[in-house]
Structure 1
Amino acid sequence: MQLKPIISLFTSCALTAVCITSIVSQAKANDEVRFICASGYDQATNLRFPTTYAWTERGKIAIIRWKYGWFTSQTVTPEERCQQVSSRFQTAYNNQSLAYIANGTVNNQPVICTAKQEDAACDITLLTLRPQDDPLQILDDLKDILRGRATKPVEHSSKQQPVYYKIDIKKFLQTAPVEKE
């Protein structure tokens, strides 16, 4: 007969543990940042384009609006590029390697990448640029976005000396304007 109170106590403890775990998981999820690709509204053209967003508890923050195809042959669509780059941002964020962004060259192509420190090699390639893109201009635009100095996303539309910018990604995610639909 003493078995019933013990089973009841055990069941209560188990349910309490499950509830606490659920609450902690939800609280952690609220602090998470996800980089996603979603349709975003461009006020200048009154059209929607695939957009790389940082999704935070404050809302979605536009980083790159993919208006143009990567190759003139359209072998990679803006939607595909958006998905790829959003995934790379997520990987870099998860690995805590968004402290520095830099321009570089990977497989003889210009890229924007993350670096663990200034003057270090590229760690994670965020995006491969088109031949006609100006790596320094795109890097500078991305830096302004990630430092909270720009109010609109980068519009992704030669061997150069790499430039490194220190990024405070946590501050960006806390202060950057969020988009309203």
Structure 2
Amino acid sequence: MKKIKFLSFSVLCFIAIAITLILGITPSFSQSNSSERVQFFCRKTFDKASQENLPSTVAWIPEKRGHIRIIVWKSEAWLGWTPQQRCEAVSPKFQKFYDNGQLNYLTNGKVKGYPVICAVDTEGDKCSKDHQLFQLKNQRDGELVIYRLTNLLEGGGGDFPLYQSSGQQRYVSIPKLLVNAPTIEEENQLNNKN
């Protein structure tokens, strides 16, 4: 009798551990795929240039039933932050600004003398600490980062009519990019054909 109880307990423990491991492997995908709203989160994606999986800020787009890679975090030496830490810190900011209706445009600017990328409501809004998504290295040019973000979201395509400017300020329309950018799944299919 004691042996049967022990065996039953062992089987139940094994099943519980197996379920925990299975659910723990892909929680962000299973959660994001069931949502009918745009969701931003951090997940590793394959970087073709380095041939490795890197932390990325990703958006789930329900209309596309797919994920869009927003930022691939590569820089190792950034004020003591690892790429994974930056990804985990910035991805929820995208979600917060999106949920508050403040992620209509990405733009560049300066906060406390440092170049930053910000989420703003309307074209013409300036960066502020309240709208800062992430800080850049001192020598980085915010306009160049906005251009590269646009290019990344467009799948590396040519000029797209989504890149606006107002004087020195550049604006990237996030709603248009979320609709027009290729999904990670589409990129993978293309890469598998080549």
TM-score w.r.t. the length of structure 1 is 0.68
Pick from 91, 100, 104 the counterpart of residue 99 of structure 1. 104
Hey, what does 2:87 align to over in structure 1?
82
Identity %: 35
- Tell me if 1:43 matches 2:51: no
Are the structure 2 counterparts of residues 82 and 89 from structure 1 closer, same or farther at C-alpha, using a change threshold of 3 Å?
same
Q: Which amino acid aligns with 2:171?
A: Y
Hey, what does 1:32 align to over in structure 2?
37
Q: Distance in 1 between matches of 2:37 and 2:169?
A: 29
Hey, what does 2:169 align to over in structure 1?
163
The RMSD of aligned alpha carbons is 2.4
Are the structure 2 counterparts of residues 168 and 128 from structure 1 closer, same or farther at C-alpha, using a change threshold of 3 Å?
closer
Q: Distance in 1 between matches of 2:150 and 2:101?
A: 17
Q: Which amino acid aligns with 2:169?
A: V
- Tell me if 1:61 matches 2:68: yes
Aligned-residue offset at 1:30: 3.5
Aligned with 2:140: secondary structure?
coil
Pick from 108, 131, 139 the counterpart of residue 132 of structure 1. 139
Hey, what does 2:57 align to over in structure 1?
52
Unmatched 5+ stretches in structure 1: 1-28, 152-160
Aligned-residue offset at 1:162: 4.3
Q: Which amino acid aligns with 1:85?
A: V
| Structure with the bigger percentage of helix | 2
TM-score w.r.t. the length of structure 2 is 0.64
Q: Distance in 2 between matches of 1:70 and 1:114?
A: 25
Q: Once superposed, which parts of structure 1, at least 4 consecutive aligned residues long, lie more than 6 Å away?
A: none
Asked which structure has the greater CA Rg, the reply is: 1
Aligned with 1:31: secondary structure?
coil
Q: Distance in 2 between matches of 1:116 and 1:87?
A: 18
Q: Higher RCO, 1 or 2 (CA under 8 Å, sep at least 6)?
A: 1
Q: Distance in 1 between matches of 2:119 and 2:56?
A: 20
Q: Distance in 2 between matches of 1:35 and 1:64?
A: 11
> How many equivalent pairs are there?
141
Q: Which amino acid aligns with 2:184?
A: E
Contact 1:70 1:130 in 2 (8 A): no
Q: Which amino acid aligns with 2:99?
A: N
Unmatched 5+ stretches in structure 2: 1-33, 158-166, 189-194
